Amino acid sequence: MSATLAWRLNRLRAMDFAEVRWRLRRVLAAGLERRGVGLAREADAGERAAASRWVAEPPAELRAGPYVDAAERILAGRWDVLALRDRALGFPPRWNRDPKTGIEAPLDFGKALDYRDARLVGDAKYLWEPNRHHELVTLAQAWRLTGGPRFALGAQRLVDSWLEQCPYPRGPQWTSALEVAVRLANWACAWHLFGGEASPLFAPAAGRAFRRRWLGAVYRHCHFVWRNLSRHSSANNHLFGELTGLFIAALTWPLWRESALWRERSRAGLEAEALAQVGEDGVDREQALWYQHEVADMMLLALLFARANGVDFSAGFSSRLERMLEFIAAVTDAAGHVPAIGDADDGALLRLARDPGFCPFGSLLATGAVLYGRGDFKARAARFDDKSRWLLGDSAARRFDALPYAGAQRLRRAFPEGGYYVLGRDFGTPREVKLVADAGPLGYLSIAAHGHADALAFTLSAGGRELLVDPGTYAYHCDARWRAYFRGTAAHNTLRVDGRDQSVPGGNFLWRAHARAACERFEVAGEREVFEATHDGYLRLRDPVRHRRRIELDGRALRIEVIDALQCAAPHWVEIHWHLAPECVASACGHAVEVACANVRLRVECPCELEAPKVIAGQNDPPLGWVSRGLDEKTPSPTIVCAGRVAGGRSLVSVLTLAIDPAPARMDHSCPVRLEERA
């Protein structure tokens, strides 16, 4: 059976009858559209649009230099596209050419194009990324800060070239409603920053003609998104992004008879999805921290656009957003690191910041600190970044500075619906120990697209230094063994049985069988803290195995005891992996491994029932010992492997002992945060 056919069968098994019926209707509708039935009409926007507002008064207290430099690079044809840096793609680029592989996608009917076929379109992530038009916003920002006419003319050229090369509804830019919606959001942002209807872009006769062309495309984009919203088992962050883009567009351009419908239906959809996709504890149900950020960012942008334009969401919507930020704050360590749990694709709805060391999680907390008056968010964000200034205005920076710091007293530590629990001590200080344990679901809906097989795994940092890490994602469209490794059980700090994943994969974004995990005990009173949980992922084995893990943290002794119990009848091959940050140096001695990372030391004593531990870094076949901190990027990193054959009913004890030098930590990657004691 071919891989494509196997995927289609697995995907079909993940659908119920209602979804199958809905998808058949979608196929029939696409067939009619291919013949011209149901396509967007030619819609006249009129001479003047109704007034709409950007989310805040654009900042005047920013350094223009970084934005001008970025805009000049774009005009010179130098682009950054995900892991590709400073590529000569030209200005304007060839919009239907994948910058990674050089493959030019055909201008066939968009919905009939198989964007998963790398031979046809290349890597769809890289093909789509420039077409999101983040660069158009950069040109608008540079114009806003300087008034330079060449940035406005460059923006017009960029949009016109795209309209010429990507005719509706043909080609790869008309296959994904999410990509169309993200482009809409960036168009709306650029429209406002260029001055909206009063923009000099539209002053001469040629400018008015450009306005008609652009707004005609806006209407087609809105029509496409509305008719192609993701539903059923695909209704994850994609649906959230589609609704957000449509909502922002309907507010920005209330020009057509459908505009009010689009605005109200998308607002109601966002309200419903906020409750469906995010638990009451604030954890996004996709079980992926990057998508936690993505959904929170979408909610934030929708909320700000609504309030600026006389519309609002319910108090429940805003409260759910605040809870999401509380979870991000809770898992952020003293130096700003956030565990790389679940999938990540480095995507964003808008890219507004050009300040050095920008951190998307810290930015959300900085904006949330001002919106909700939360000093604990300020303590985790530490600074008011450029993106927050674009969204809230210059005055918000002063409100941020005036907020009193609030530290650990407001930190939530149990997120029972999401299944995450925080153990540790001295949060937010140079003596911090932070352990984030996972007893949550695999992912969201029947396919759990962005979840990883990481039940009962945990991450650990001390003194702001990452020690035990989640290795991340690496890539979506790559050699299958790498996708399988990074989301598999061996790539997480948990126990693997008989060389199998806890859950059964069925494709790059599909799991056929889901391990179910549950926390049975969580106590954090006093110096001794306990987390105990179990999962049933290995009950499918011929000799069923239930894995139970107990973590005991002695805060005074800085000692962590991990007890893994195997409830089964027969012997099984067992592996325990401890994935260390790339900055760590590890050496094995007998049944222990000594780990050093700057001013922090960790001793890992492995179970005596297993073979002596090995430290592996950068192994390719099979993959082991890697960390990915960005899409398409991976770095060799030491991984401790404890393995052996274990009789049924045995418990394996691992002991982790920490020592922290009083010297404060400093940031060693892209999210700088002050690390200091705060009252």
Predicted confidence at residue 9, as pLDDT, reads: 85
Q: Give the chain's largest Cα–Cα span.
A: 82
CA 328 to mean position of chain CA atoms: 12
Residue-wise pLDDT tens digits, 284-332: 999 999 999 999 999 999 999 999 999 999 999 999 999 999 999 999 9
Peptide bond into 92 cis (omega under 30): yes
Q: Which residues of 420-453 are buried (b: 16+ CB within 10 A; e: fewer)?
A: bbbbbbbbbbbbbbbbbbbbbbbbbbbbbbbbbb
Alpha-carbon distances of 41 from 2, 74, 165, 185, 582, rounded to whole Å: 41, 33, 20, 21, 55
How many Cβ atoms from other residues are within 10 Å of residue 557's Cβ?
11
* Confidence grade of residue 519 (pLDDT, cut at 50, 70, 90): very high
Please say whether the beta carbons of 290 and 342 come within 8 A. Answer: yes
Mean pLDDT for the chain? Answer: 94
Residue-wise pLDDT tens digits, 414-461: 999 999 999 999 999 999 999 999 999 999 999 999 999 999 999 999
User: What is the enclosing helix (H) or strand (E) of 119?
Assistant: helix 118-121
Predicted confidence at residue 678, as pLDDT, reads: 32
In degrees and rounded to multiples of 5, residue 20 shows phi and psi of -60, -45
Query: Does residue 408 surpass a pLDDT of 70?
Result: no
Give me the DSSP letters along 232-280.
GGG-SHHHHHHHHHHHHHHHH---STTHHHHHHHHHHHHHHHHHHHB-T
Residue-wise pLDDT tens digits, 186-216: 999 999 999 999 999 998 899 999 999 999 9
Q: Residue 608 burial (CB < 10 Å; 0-12/13-18/19+)? A: exposed
Q: What is the average per-residue pLDDT within 89-106?
A: 97
pTM: 0.95
Predicted confidence at residue 525, as pLDDT, reads: 83
Residue-wise pLDDT tens digits, 101-130: 999 999 999 999 999 999 999 999 999 999
* Confidence grade of residue 407 (pLDDT, cut at 50, 70, 90): low
Structure tokens at 436: 């984030």
Structure tokens at 490: 């061996």
Structure tokens at 84: 């590709």
Residue-wise pLDDT tens digits, 524-580: 988 899 999 999 999 999 999 999 999 999 999 999 999 999 999 999 999 999 999
* Confidence grade of residue 622 (pLDDT, cut at 50, 70, 90): very high
Distance CA 413, CA 420 (A): 8
Please say whether the beta carbons of 552 and 529 come within 8 A. Answer: yes
Residue-wise pLDDT tens digits, 633-644: 999 999 999 999
Query: Does residue 648 surpass a pLDDT of 70?
Result: yes
In degrees and rounded to multiples of 5, residue 348 shows phi and psi of -150, 150
Alpha-helical runs (H) found in 134-236: 134-146, 149-165, 177-193, 205-227
Distance CA 654, CA 349 (A): 42
Q: What is the average per-residue pLDDT within 154-175?
A: 98
Residue-wise pLDDT tens digits, 370-379: 999 999 999 9
DSSP state of 383: S
Nearest to 110 by CA among 216, 57, 34, 47: 34
Check the CA dihedral 264-267-271-273 and report its sign: positive
181: helix, strand or coil = helix
Residue-wise pLDDT tens digits, 245-261: 999 999 999 999 999 99
Predicted confidence at residue 135, as pLDDT, reads: 98
Nearest to 438 by CA among 335, 327, 298, 580: 327
Distance CA 243, CA 270 (A): 6
Instruction: Characterise 442 by phi-psi region: left (phi > 0), alpha (psi -120 to 50), beta (else).
Output: alpha
Q: What is the average per-residue pLDDT within 354-380?
A: 95
Distance CA 551, CA 533 (A): 9
Nearest to 255 by CA among 47, 39, 50, 40: 50
Measured distance between the N- and C-terminal CA atoms of the chain, rounded to whole angstroms: 63
Distance CA 592, CA 656 (A): 10
How many Cβ atoms from other residues are within 10 Å of residue 585's Cβ?
12
Query: Does residue 7 surpass a pLDDT of 90?
Result: no
The residue type found at 465 is R
Predicted confidence at residue 580, as pLDDT, reads: 98
Q: Using H for helix, E for strand and C for coil, what is the string for 581-639?
A: CCCCEEEEECCEEEEEECCEEEEEECCCCCCCCEEECCEECCEECEEEEECCEEEECCE
Residue 114 makes CB contacts below 8 A (sequence gap 6+) with: 120, 121
Please say whether the beta carbons of 637 and 579 come within 8 A. Answer: yes
CA 396 to mean position of chain CA atoms: 26
Instruction: Characterise 216 by phi-psi region: left (phi > 0), alpha (psi -120 to 50), beta (else).
Output: alpha
